[in-house]
Structure 1
């Protein structure tokens, strides 16, 4: 496996020099300064690549191998009349990346928001901090802070009552922090920051878009992108919706094995693949991750190896757990990925899968540092070390 590390660019508190010390060999990155929908120019890609690779001769080598992500413009997701410009720009960006040797592209098709958490500093019993999604807090935000139109139709009588109690127990500071956590954007400008009013406006844009329409728009986009990806040897790796279910009245279409079966039956191109985000898929109890790793092995171009622990009484609530101590059998997942690599190496000789530790805990010296939520250095290094140990042990028995 190719051990990768996400880097958000020159402003990332975790530097390239830090990453070299982790033992990772590959970098996952993006041009966060380019506005969504605009072309990633060759010169900017080359400059970013040089930042990563320029000191490789005197030091251990790092290679920019995976893009996470080229954002997909909302007009593509909504199928608006002017969306073709953004499809063409996305394709040109992909071509320019391929010309620079970067041929694995992670992307997602989530409307309006990317991954969503209610708590960015959830304290663990050991004193460290993790990311958390609390369903009752989220419902309280949706119903009583956002006050989304007809939101009450999405909740049971008990859920409405619980959300009201949760909201009433919040201080003004709690409400402000919860709102910021949900709509204030993500590290590296992966999503824009919203105000409550323009967030409502963005949600309203999707009022007539259901799962079927959104899926049709995804397939229309991919039908144009995939032939060019094949031509340039690019592997596309769609990331699941996080959390993997409908939210805020928005449809989500990459959540389950059934969703992936529909995707690959409709678009069987070998360039059409997935990012196996173990934590995201694992936040649904009906997703069997070891089985999915086996079933979609040939489609896995990239993997986020992290796990979550779901609340016993509310399975939609979870926190980011230790990489090997979660509701997912990570050892079995890694075993399935290694078996897939063995099949690929037998057929082609170049079958290594890019993996990265994801959403590490904030622990030790990082407790006193300001970093991107979920992307502290030491917590991810701990996860990478654990994953590396599993890989070494399993390879010894293959």
Structure 2
């Protein structure tokens, strides 16, 4: 029997309202965590890594994946001072390896991490989910941020819809929309002001998708030899959403992008985090096909689903519902595991976590990080483990 995927849960550390004791009841065996209190660009000391690792071990888990060691904007911008930050990054990777952890997830999105317009969108069953609404994003970009180039980028139809959306909001709702879009990194309460964000946009004015991708390749060529020597597998997370927003370019939005990234510095240490939610927000991303063609480079799995809408909006759907066929995704993952077993690879039990759960039942009584409720993710994990088991039993029986 092919080993199960390693079932993991993201934990933001001691301040996370979702405790390790609660996670223990989900059936997860691994933890995905990061030192969010260490400023971006600083070295993670071995002492701090071991402190977190001991918390995780003492609760009966393995620290399976570091998500994320965030990348300083100087590296993304290609500034001269990037060399010092790259050296810090390499030192952090060596310390992580010395603590016995060997998978590091990261992303290369400029300024903002994943972006949504609503953090409490209610479904028909009253579950609370995350949502990206195209008209809301355009309303912010055009009439709150007042980005000059936005008026050249949005069609007249979208501008009219955005203005209509803006006019429907109260002052408090406009502030909420602004704070939601300009939220900082996961695990922090940081929110950029409009003026702060405008300053960042000025820095990126001359950085297009090609330039940003070249800066990513420079970063990878600098760190991957050290990562490989230390036994660390780096895996880039796709952009979320996987298209340009607010004038900021994207580098990991399509299969072609991911192929470029693994080709830029060929190594077992230069890999991919397969996020079915991020990639699934684009209808032209064939996720089972991506797994079939790039599966050997996948070191980590984020399994979630989104429901796409015709205007480019989407919301977080049930894990087994939405616009992505999760059955075909899981079947492709299992086939990749079979190929790994035949090749004699040791990394068959790929770490997997249920991503972005709905807020349901008692979740509503806790102020958890957006998308990281405990019961909603437990429901997703249970569905995914059942799907995996069913597919594996079928493949084993039919010799498919």
- The normalised TM-score by structure 1 is 0.96
Aligned to 1:318: 314
SS in 2 for 1:268: coil
Whole-angstrom distance in 1 between the partners of 2:149 and 2:391? 51
1:196, CA displacement in angstroms? 1.0
1:344, CA displacement in angstroms? 1.3
Aligned to 2:114: 115
1:103, CA displacement in angstroms? 0.5
Which range moves more in the overlay, 259-268 or 358-367? Answer: 259-268
SS in 2 for 1:253: coil
Q: Does 1:159 align with 2:142?
A: no
SS in 2 for 1:27: strand
- The normalised TM-score by structure 2 is 0.96
1:193, CA displacement in angstroms? 2.1
Deviation by residue 1:77-124 (Cα, 9 ceiling, x = unmatched): 001111111001011101100111111000000001010000000000
- The within-5 A match list for 1:44-55 is 44-55=48-59
Aligned to 2:239: 241
Whole-angstrom distance in 1 between the partners of 2:375 and 2:127? 11
Contact 1:128 1:367 (8 Å CA) reproduced: no
Aligned to 2:387: 390
Q: Which runs of 5+ in 2 are unaligned?
A: 396-400
Count of residues in Structure 1 that have an aligned counterpart in Structure 2: 390
Distance 1:85 1:186, change over 3 A: closer
Contact 2:112 2:183 (8 Å CA) reproduced: no
Q: Which of 183, 187, 193 is residue 195 of structure 1 equivalent to?
A: 193
Deviation by residue 1:308-333 (Cα, 9 ceiling, x = unmatched): 0011x31x100000000010011111
Whole-angstrom distance in 2 between the partners of 1:128 and 1:187? 22
**Aligned Cα RMSD in Å?**
1.1
SS in 2 for 1:237: strand
1:293, CA displacement in angstroms? 1.4
Which range moves more in the overlay, 344-353 or 44-53? Answer: 344-353
1:55, CA displacement in angstroms? 3.8
- The within-5 A match list for 1:291-302 is 291-302=289-300
Following superposition, which runs of at least 4 residues in structure 1 exceed 4 angstroms of deviation?
Answer: none
Deviation by residue 1:290-345 (Cα, 9 ceiling, x = unmatched): 1111111101100100000011x31x100000000010011111111111112212
Q: Does 1:360 align with 2:360?
A: no
Deviation by residue 1:144-184 (Cα, 9 ceiling, x = unmatched): 01111222111011111111111111111110110010113
Whole-angstrom distance in 2 between the partners of 1:122 and 1:55? 34
SS in 2 for 1:397: helix
Deviation by residue 1:35-58 (Cα, 9 ceiling, x = unmatched): 0000000000000000111143xx
SS in 1 for 2:32: strand
Q: Which of 21, 30, 33 is residue 29 of structure 1 equivalent to?
A: 33
Deviation by residue 1:243-279 (Cα, 9 ceiling, x = unmatched): 0011111111100011112222222212111110001
Whole-angstrom distance in 2 between the partners of 1:349 and 1:52? 27
1:349, CA displacement in angstroms? 4.7
Deviation by residue 1:58-84 (Cα, 9 ceiling, x = unmatched): xxxx10010000000000000111111
- The within-5 A match list for 1:31-180 is 31-56=35-60, 62-180=61-179
Which range moves more in the overlay, 10-19 or 343-352? Answer: 343-352
1:346, CA displacement in angstroms? 2.6
Q: Which runs of 5+ in 1 are unaligned?
A: 57-61
Whole-angstrom distance in 2 between the partners of 1:268 and 1:8? 32
Whole-angstrom distance in 2 between the partners of 1:242 and 1:82? 27
- The within-5 A match list for 1:191-270 is 192-270=190-268
Aligned to 1:59: none
Whole-angstrom distance in 2 between the partners of 1:167 and 1:387? 39
